[in-house]
Each structure stands twice: as C-alpha cells, then as structure tokens.
Structure 1
Amino acid sequence: MTRQASECPAPGAPDFLYEEHESVGSTNAVCFERARQGHNGSLWVRADEQTEGRGRRGRDWSSPAGNLFTSLLLINPEPVDRIGELPLVAAVALADAVDKAAGTLHLVGLKWPNDLLVNGAKLSGILLEAEVLSDDRQAVVIGFGVNCISHPPLSLYKATDLRSLGYQVPVETLFEALASAFSVHYRNWQKPGGFEDVRRHWLKRATHLGKEISVKTAREDITGIFADLDAHGHLVLKQDDGRQRTIYAGDVFLSGD
C-alpha cells in the first residue's frame, strides 16, 4: 500500500484513514490517484477548496472555501453486486450527519437518488464514480459537497446553505459527523439484506414520495407518482394507466417545476 505522510485515522471513524489538503482540483480525483498508486482504500480525503469540482453528468460544482468538500475511496467494496445502492447509503449518512452537526431533527429531505433538500432547495451534492484499476481491483469513490456557508446559483434547482438557514456548522464538525454516520450505515449495508435498513431510512426523508414528479432521463421525460423505491433503491413510478415503471437513472422534478 502506498501511504501518504499526512494520513491519520479519520475523525469520527478511526477504522478509516484520512488526509487533508488546503486546495485540490477535486477530492474525487485525489482518491483515484491514491488508488492508482496502490492504496488499499477506506480513505477519506478532505480539502478546504476545490478548483475543479464537478457534479453528476459532468456538471460543475462550485467549491469555495468554507463549504465541505470530501471524498471516500473504497477498494473492492462488498457486496459487489450491490454497489449501485451506495449513493443512497451516502445520502442517508449525510442527512444524519447534517442533523447531528446542526443539532436538528430531519432538517433535510432526500430527493432521489441522493440530493439533500431543505424547503425544496439543494444543500449538497453526492457523486459516485468507479474505475477498474490496472491490477483489476475496483476503485469506488464517493464525493460529497455540502453548502455550509455559501451556495451557488444553480440553473436546474434552487440552492441553499446552512448559514443562510441559521445554522453555524464548522466544516470539521460536519465532516466528523459524516465519517461516523457513513461508517455505521456502510457496515450495516454490507450485511445480508442490509440495504433494507438504508431504504427504510431513505424513505422516511423522501421529499417527493406520493407526489407527481417528472423524471428526465437520457432518452425521455417521464411523469408519474413517486410510489416507492425498489429493493435496490431504484425509483418506482406509478403512471396514469396504473402500471408501475422502474427508473434506474435520471433527474427528478416536481411536476410543474
């Protein structure tokens, strides 16, 4: 394993490693660099600032100092056939972490698959990426960006930040809460049938459950009632004709937005 000099046990999750930077292009990119260097994973990387932050589908993610930018490197996470559930594991962990750090109860709701919303405005972004390494190991990186003291104007969604909402949450406090919450939910997820606990927690925070939504996929726009999550976290839509349709990827909007 290639070990970085700055590595130490992660605050809040000593079973994970941690390294901290003043400024990086993106914390996801640093994680992949570590993986290509032979790192064994279970590594958190946090930066005060990102200069090349990005979100889902290649969108830019504004990354000024004072907000939380961190990524987690996992190598060969098990069970491998359920890796697609990890974005929801990450969302539940981050939602719990925000509540713990801010001293709130269900401050945030969840928009499928992994956006955190407060009163309909986006508070955070989560980006999962994966790569098969030259030695055939699989590197999975989960990136988190949380608006602690500022938020950008977003073209697709309204945005907000914790300070604007009246909560003074230091980045370090939020990171420690996230590392701790993710460790708990990740270990539970790894157990047989472990996603059902994640699914239940996710649905308790679901902002659009039972409402008519539109889902923009790569090929079409689909409208229906958000009926459920299936056993692997996919969105189940009930359409006008009563049939249910499973959505595997897409952007969700309340109908009329």
Structure 2
Amino acid sequence: MNHRILELLEQQSGAYVSGELLSKELQISRTAIWKHIKKLESAGYQIEASRRLGYRLIGKPDKLSPQELTLKLQNRGTSLVQSIRSFDSVDSTQNIAQRLAEDGAPEGTLVIAEQQTSGRGRLGRKWVSPSGKGIYMSFILRPSMPLHFAPQLTLLTAVALCRALRTAAEPLDIGIKWPNDLLIGGKKISGILLESTAEEERLRYVIAGIGISVNLTQDDFPPELLDIATSLQIELGKPLDRSDIIAGFFEQFEQLYAVYQKEGFAPIRMLWEALSVTLHKPTRLILASGETVATPIGLNEQGALLAKKSDGTVVPIFSSEQVPAG
C-alpha cells in the first residue's frame, strides 16, 4: 500500500494529491491514508500535508545503491569488498553479518542498511539509526591470527575511518577517543564495534560494525544526546554523500590492512596515537575493578592503552571507559 501511495504522489511531480482522491483510488479511509503517509515519512520521504489540498512529495530519502557503491569502490582501486547485502531496515547489521559468517560467507562480505531498529555499540548501548541519514554497516574479516590480536583490528579500523572522514569532511578536526569512538569537538559522530569468534585460540572470523552519523539533524537525536553527539552535516553545514564516505573508508582500510599484515601493529600504533584526542590528558578510567585517575600516554605493542598513574607507574589498560578528570 505504501508503494502505491508513493507511486501516486510521484506521478504528480510535486503537485498536491487530495486525500479524497487517494482514498477513492486505494479504497481505504482517509485515516488509513494518513497512517501510511506517516510510515513513508519514517522511511525518509518528505511529504507536505495540507488540509485543503492534500499531500505532495517534496523529498526522497538518499538511498545507498549497491551498484553505485561497487562502482565507487572500483574507481578507488579497492578489492576487499567482495559482495554487498543491502537492506531497507534491519534490527542490526551485526546480527545479519554474523549469520552470514556462520553460513560461510567470505571475507569482504558487506552488510549495509538504511535503518537499524536495534543498532548497538559497545557495552550494549543503542546506536541512533534514523532511515537514510547515517551509515550503518558491518563487514566480515577472516584474518589468520591468534585471538589476542583482535583488539589491534579495532584500532586499525578507527584509524582508517578517522582518516577517511577527515578527507570527506575537510576541514573538520576529527579525532579518536579510546578505544574506538570518533569525536568532533568532544561530541561523538561514529562508533566501531568488532565482535570476534575463535576456535582453539585462533580467529574464525571478525565482524566489524561501524555506525556514522552523517546527515542527521538535531531533531534526529534524543534531547539527552545533544550535548554528547553530533553529525557531519551539523558540523559541516551541508549534507555529504554516504557512498563516497563508505568507499573512502574501504580505500583507507585496505591500505592499512595490507600494511598491518606485512609489518605488524607498529605503523598502526603510530597513526592511532597521532589521531588520538585523549592522550596526555588526565582521565578518569572506569574499569571492571573500579575507577582510577591516570594520564594515557600511548599504546603498547599489543594495542593496550598505556596509562601513567600519579605515582609514576605505567599500566596497560585493555578495556575501560574514559571520562575527563575533574
């Protein structure tokens, strides 16, 4: 029914279609028409309503096209993405990618969605995922390495994404917060979640999930998040092409992944430290064992955060939340 209403609105090329005509054409009540209009709006369509004139279509969602994305990836010379699974709405791209991985999907299988109903970040937190405005994607990696190297892949992904977004949204000053959030002026614009499955201490596969707030407006964020979250469009003052951003990310990721496989973690560590916005600042670290105040000074060779305590001792931190000290 939504498709038929959309078809009738599109036929009028921006002119109004009366509710009476829609009701008669579809043989449903005007109340039912209104409900279907609301569903179209929630899917990203912009529809203007007038009690006197009816409804007219004034904007369509910016939908990601697998064909267009494939072409852009090819133009950038990337080959990691082998297949793209595209969805209008999913509970979580992570869940779909995990099922595909269990069914034997190869490395480079990419899952993208226009909307997530249960998108998640670290520690089970919900990720705001309005339709057609962000990037919600997960892809499968099958690296041949021990399980304890998995955190390094999270840091590599953060570096690749930060470099890609700095290029796409120049001159915004985008930086990395330990371990995998991207910030602009202290506000979060992107999160990364890597989930791995191992067998006999070796990785079977890794699902890399990425959420980016690209073209969200302030109205898309719950009021309680406005002080801590933002989008590229809000900060830049104009919308960005989401497929360009995805292609740019995979260009960066493929280059760094090749370096990592050849030279190890050291080059990635240097890049991460250069892009970090939380190093050398006193920080309250929230650990499973409690809280402590320390100053992050870098990463060690395993990818743990090195934190210098007030007594001068340096300890490795593998998992924590960071809150500014004070």
Bin of the TM-score, shorter chain as denominator length: 0.7 to 0.9
Per-residue deviation, 1:99: 1.6
**Within the alignment, does 1:190 sit opposite 2:261 as a pair?**
yes
SS in 2 for 1:20: strand
Q: Across the two proteins, how many residue pairs are aligned to each other? A: 246
**Within the alignment, does 1:152 sit opposite 2:221 as a pair?**
yes
**Within the alignment, does 1:249 sit opposite 2:249 as a pair?**
no
**Within the alignment, does 1:15 sit opposite 2:80 as a pair?**
yes
The residue that corresponds to 1:162 in the other structure is: 232
**Within the alignment, does 1:47 sit opposite 2:113 as a pair?**
yes
**Within the alignment, does 1:212 sit opposite 2:282 as a pair?**
yes
Task: Describe how 1:10-159 pairs up with structure 2 within 5 A.
Answer: 11-12=72-73, 13-17=78-82, 18-65=84-131, 66-75=133-142, 77-80=143-146, 81-104=148-171, 107-132=173-198, 138-150=204-216, 152-153=221-222, 158-159=228-229
Per-residue deviation, 1:39: 1.3
Alignment identity in percent?
30
Change (3 A) 1:172 1:78: same
8 Å CA contact 1:213–1:254 kept in 2: the answer is yes
Per-residue deviation, 1:19: 2.3
8 Å CA contact 2:149–2:302 kept in 1: the answer is yes
Change (3 A) 1:164 1:250: same
8 Å CA contact 1:10–1:179 kept in 2: the answer is no
8 Å CA contact 1:227–1:236 kept in 2: the answer is yes
* One-letter code aligned to 1:41: E
C-alpha separation in 1, matches of 2:135 and 2:235:
16
Unpaired runs of at least 5, structure 2: 1-65
Change (3 A) 1:129 1:210: same
SS in 1 for 2:97: helix
C-alpha separation in 2, matches of 1:156 and 1:249:
26
Which one has more relative contact order, counting CA pairs under 8 Å at least 6 apart? 1
* One-letter code aligned to 1:138: R
Alpha-carbon RMSD: 2.3
Structure ranking higher in helix proportion: 2
**Within the alignment, does 1:223 sit opposite 2:293 as a pair?**
yes
Per-residue deviation, 1:45: 1.2
8 Å CA contact 2:150–2:196 kept in 1: the answer is no
The residue that corresponds to 1:3 in the other structure is: none
8 Å CA contact 1:110–1:207 kept in 2: the answer is yes
Change (3 A) 1:50 1:226: same
Per-residue deviation, 1:115: 0.8
Per-residue deviation, 1:187: 1.3
Per-residue deviation, 1:236: 0.9
Change (3 A) 1:235 1:15: closer
Which ranges of 4 or more aligned residues in structure 1 deviate by more than 6 Å? none
* One-letter code aligned to 2:163: D
8 Å CA contact 1:216–1:250 kept in 2: the answer is yes
Per-residue deviation, 1:191: 1.5
Per-residue deviation, 1:155: 6.0
8 Å CA contact 2:215–2:233 kept in 1: the answer is yes
Measured against aligned partners, the alpha-carbon deviations of 1:168-227 in whole angstroms (never above 9, x if no partner) come to 2121111111111111111111124x2111111111111121110011112211111112
8 Å CA contact 1:27–1:46 kept in 2: the answer is yes
Name the stretch that deviates more: 215-224 or 6-15. Answer: 6-15
8 Å CA contact 2:144–2:203 kept in 1: the answer is no
C-alpha separation in 2, matches of 1:156 and 1:208:
21
